[in-house]
Structure 1
C-alpha cells in the first residue's frame, strides 16, 4: 500500500481541501459487485468509533485560526456526541463571569446531511465557512485550532511571513507538532508514499509552512513532499500587494528547494474562459475551480493499480520541482466519448514521429497569467486525461523501452512527457457550484489537467528577485536574492545576455 498523509494549513487551503475530500468521498461504492477505480486506502484510514463501530476517515491534519472552523466540531457523531461544556472552577474560588461568543448556526446543507435528507442547493451567500459544504467526518486528531490568532482580525492580522515562522516555533517548542499531529497518522501507514500540503504562500501561512517542511524533511528525508501553494489573485492596494509579493518570494526561496513538487496556484486565475461561470468574490467558487484541476492531475496517485507518479515528476534529472498547474474542460462529442468500462489506466510515453507531445496552451492557467506560454521552453510535462478515450493515433503505446525514450528526449533537449488516462469523469457534486461549467452532462465533465515545468518559472522568479531587492530588509536581502537567483538558473535555457542580470 502507498499511503499519502495530508496537511491543510489555513483558510484558503481548507476551502480547496474540503472540495478535494468531498470528491474522494464520492468515489466510494457500496455495492460489493462494483469495485471503485480509486484505492481509498491511499487517503483514508480505518479506525474505531466511540460505539465500537468501524470508521473510515481522511489521513489529514487541519490547521486553522480561531473562528475559522464554523460549525465543524472536533468531536463528531463518530467519536463523541457531545463535548464537555463544563469549564471547571479552576484555582479561582471567587465569583466567575463566563462570557461566550454567539453560537454559529448550522447551515441548512449540514442539517440536511445530518438528517439524511436531500441537500438544498448551495450559493455564494449561504456558504460562510469551508465547513458549510463539508460532507465528511474527521478524526478528532485531525482538527487543530490555533488560538493565538483570530480569523480576519484587524488587531492582529495573520499576514506577515515572519509571524507564521514565530507561531510555528512557539507551538513546536510547546507541543512538538510532528510528534503530536503527524506521527500518529504516518505510523498507521504500511508504506508512506508522500506528504501533501495545502497552504497559502503570500501570507503568514507561508512562514508557518516553511518551518513545518523543515521539520518534515528532517524526519522524513526520503519521502515525497507535495506543496500546493495558493496565492491571492484579486486586486488589493499597492502596499498590501508588495507584502504579498515579498511573502511569495520568501516562500519560493524557503519551500521549493525542500519540496518534491511546488505548485503556485493563483486564486482566482487571471483568465477564465467564457464557458466557465465563476464568482471571483467567493472562495467557495474559486477553490472549486482549483480543485477540478488539482484533484484531476493527482488522480493517478490513488487509482488501481499503483503508478509511479513521482518518477514522472522527476523528469530527466529531478532538478525541476516548481510546476505550473493548467487545465482544459473537454466538451462531449462523438470522437472523444467517456469510457466507463476500462478498469485500468493507460500510460503512454511520447516518442518521435507524430506521437503526442507536451502542450503549451490550456484554457486555464492557475500558476501564471498565461502570457508567453507559447514561446517558453518546456522541460517536463505530466498530463492526465480523465473521462475521455484517447484516440489510437495519439495514445497507442509505442512498444519501445520507456527508459530509452526518455534518454533520447534528454539528449535531443526535447520535453520529457508522460500521459495518463483515467476513465473516471470529474463529478459535479451537490457541494459544488452547480452552474460553473457550461454543457456539463449527467453531473459530470471531462478534463485534461497538466503539471508543467517550463522556462516561464525563470521569468517569474526574476520579477521576484527585483521585488525582494527593493523591499526585503537588509539583513536577509542578499540571502533571499541570491537564493532566488540559484533557483532561477535551473529554469533558464541557453545563454543569457549580461543585461538580464542587471537587476540590482
Structure 2
C-alpha cells in the first residue's frame, strides 16, 4: 500500500479536486478480464455502506463554507440513515424544525442518480463544484464551516487573518486533525504523503497554513504537497489584486518551511495556445485545466506497472526536485500533444533507463539528449511547455526588470508524457555506454515518466482541450507536464516581496520580508557566483 490522503480547502480547490476525483473514478474496471493501470488503493478507501455492501470512496477531507457544497448531502445514498434523528432525541417535547430551502440538484446530477444519459454541461449550468461530481464521498469527508457563507459581501472570506483565526477557533473547540484527518490517516498502511489543494490567495491560505503547521506536529516525516490554487485576476480592482498578492506572499513565507513541495497554480494572463480554449471567469473551466496538469504530473504515484514504491513515491520526487534542501517551490507547466507530432518528436532522442525497468504500458526514463546536457544545468537542458501555470507574470512585478534576463538555472525537472504508443517506443530505453558514464559523473537533472494511459475526457470535463485542427478532443488527451525547480523562482519571490511589502503591517513586515528574501536565496545556492550584478540580471 502507498496511500495518499487528500485535503481540500475552499471553493476554487474543490473545483480542481472534483475533476481529479472524477478522473480517478473513470479508471475503475469492472470486467473479470480487465485490469486498471491505476492502483485504486492509493487514493480510495474500502468501507461498508449502511446496507452492509462494500463501498470504495476517496481518501479525502473536503472543507468549504456554508452554501459551498451546493446540493451535495453529507449523508449520501450509500450511507443513508433510515432512523429519524428526532426519534432518538433526549427531548421529549414537541420539536420545532426550521429548514432552509435546499439547493436543487443539477440536471446532470439528477441524470446520474436516475441512471440516464447525462445532459451536456456548460458554464451557465455549473454553479457549484458538486453539480458535476461523479463520485460518492464518505460522510466524514464532508466538513462544512458554518461560520462564513460562500460569496458573502457582509463577511467575505478573503483575508489571511480571517482564515487563520477561523482555524484557531475551530481547532480549540474540536481538535480538527483528530476529528477530521486522523480516521483516514490511521487506516492507511503505508501512507506515502498528504496532498493538499488549497486557495493560495484568499483566506483559505491562512486556514491551510495553520492546518499544515499542525500536520507537521503530528506527521513530521510525511511528505506534504501543497497545490496552491489562485483565482484569475483579470477584472479585479487594484485593491483586490494587492490583497491576493499579500495573501500569497504570506503563504510562501510560512509554507516554505512547513511543506515538502509547493506548486502554485494560476491561469497565465497572456494568451493561451490554440490547443486550449478557456473561459477564465468559469471556475469549472479553470479547475479542469489545473486538474489535467495536476493529475498527469502525479500519475507516476498510482500506476500499477511501475512497481517499486521507492521509485514512484511523493518522497522520492520531492528529493529529486529539492536539490539543496531549500527549494520547496516548484513550477508546473503543461502542453497538449498531437499524436502525430508526438511520434515525430519522440523518435529524435535516445534515452537511458532511470530504474532499469520498462514495460508496454509505462516506463520511467531519464535525461535529455546527451549532446544538450551540461554540468552547469542551464535552462537549455529542460523542456519548456506551452502553458506555464506558475504565475510567470510575477517576473515583471518589479519595475525595470523586464529586459536583459539571463536563462534560468535548472536544478531539477520531472517530465510526464502520456501518449499513445508508437514505433519509437521500441528503442526509447536503450541507452549508450557513453550516457551511462555521464550520468555517473554528473547528477541527473531531467527525469521522465512516460505512459500510454491517456488523460480521460469525461462528460463532466469541459471542452477546453483542442487538437491541431481546432476540434475538441474526445475520449482521451495526450498531455505533457513538467514539474521544475529553477532559479526563476528567485526573481518571482523577489518581485512578489517588492510589490507587497509596503502593504503588510509594520509588526509583521520585517519577519515576512526576511522569510521571502531567504526563500529567494535558496535558489542561488550551488550555482550562483554571489555577484550582485548577476542577481539583478537573472
Does the pair score TM above 0.5? Answer: yes
Partner of 1:495: 529
Q: TM-score, normalised by structure 2?
A: 0.85
**Cα distance change of structure 1 residues 12 and 129 upon mapping to structure 2, 3 Å threshold:** same
Q: How far has the Cα of 1:233 moved from its partner? A: 2.4
Partner of 1:345: 362
User: Aligned partners of 1:404 and 1:468: how far apart in 2?
Assistant: 48
Partner of 1:325: 332
Q: Is 2:264 the counterpart of 1:264?
A: yes
Confirm or deny: 8 A CA contact 2:106 2:125 kept in the other structure: yes
User: Aligned partners of 2:101 and 2:208: how far apart in 1?
Assistant: 32
Residues 415-460 of structure 1, C-alpha deviations (whole Å, 9 max, x = no match): 7111001110011100011354244555211000110111111111
Q: How far has the Cα of 1:497 moved from its partner? A: 4.6
**Cα distance change of structure 1 residues 270 and 220 upon mapping to structure 2, 3 Å threshold:** farther
User: Aligned partners of 1:319 and 1:394: how far apart in 2?
Assistant: 37
User: Aligned partners of 1:59 and 1:95: how far apart in 2?
Assistant: 36
**Cα distance change of structure 1 residues 239 and 77 upon mapping to structure 2, 3 Å threshold:** same
Task: Spell out the pairing of 1:206-221 with structure 2 (5 A cutoff).
Answer: 206-221=205-220
Q: Is 2:474 the counterpart of 1:451?
A: no
Partner of 2:249: 249
Partner of 1:109: 108
User: Aligned partners of 2:120 and 2:82: how far apart in 1?
Assistant: 28
Q: TM-score, normalised by structure 1?
A: 0.90
User: Aligned partners of 2:182 and 2:44: how far apart in 1?
Assistant: 15
**Cα distance change of structure 1 residues 335 and 129 upon mapping to structure 2, 3 Å threshold:** closer
Segments of structure 1 that go 5 or more residues without pairing to the other structure are none
SS at the partner of 1:336? helix
User: Aligned partners of 1:374 and 1:430: how far apart in 2?
Assistant: 44
Segments of structure 2 that go 5 or more residues without pairing to the other structure are 347-357, 374-379, 396-401
Paired residue for 2:456, among 414, 421, 427?
A: 427
**Cα distance change of structure 1 residues 276 and 468 upon mapping to structure 2, 3 Å threshold:** closer
Q: How far has the Cα of 1:476 moved from its partner? A: 0.9
User: Aligned partners of 1:351 and 1:65: how far apart in 2?
Assistant: 46
Confirm or deny: 8 A CA contact 1:349 1:402 kept in the other structure: no
User: Aligned partners of 1:147 and 1:387: how far apart in 2?
Assistant: 44
Q: How far has the Cα of 1:501 moved from its partner? A: 8.4
User: Aligned partners of 1:198 and 1:387: how far apart in 2?
Assistant: 26
Partner of 2:273: 273
Q: How far has the Cα of 1:82 moved from its partner? A: 6.3
Confirm or deny: 8 A CA contact 2:3 2:190 kept in the other structure: yes
**Cα distance change of structure 1 residues 106 and 394 upon mapping to structure 2, 3 Å threshold:** same
**Cα distance change of structure 1 residues 450 and 352 upon mapping to structure 2, 3 Å threshold:** closer
**Cα distance change of structure 1 residues 87 and 282 upon mapping to structure 2, 3 Å threshold:** farther
Aligned pairs, number? 495
Paired residue for 1:314, among 319, 329, 332?
A: 319
User: Aligned partners of 1:222 and 1:188: how far apart in 2?
Assistant: 17
User: Aligned partners of 2:429 and 2:372: how far apart in 1?
Assistant: 9
Residues 376-415 of structure 1, C-alpha deviations (whole Å, 9 max, x = no match): 11111000000244846984343779998666334xxxx7
Residues 316-345 of structure 1, C-alpha deviations (whole Å, 9 max, x = no match): 44432111110010012176299xx95542
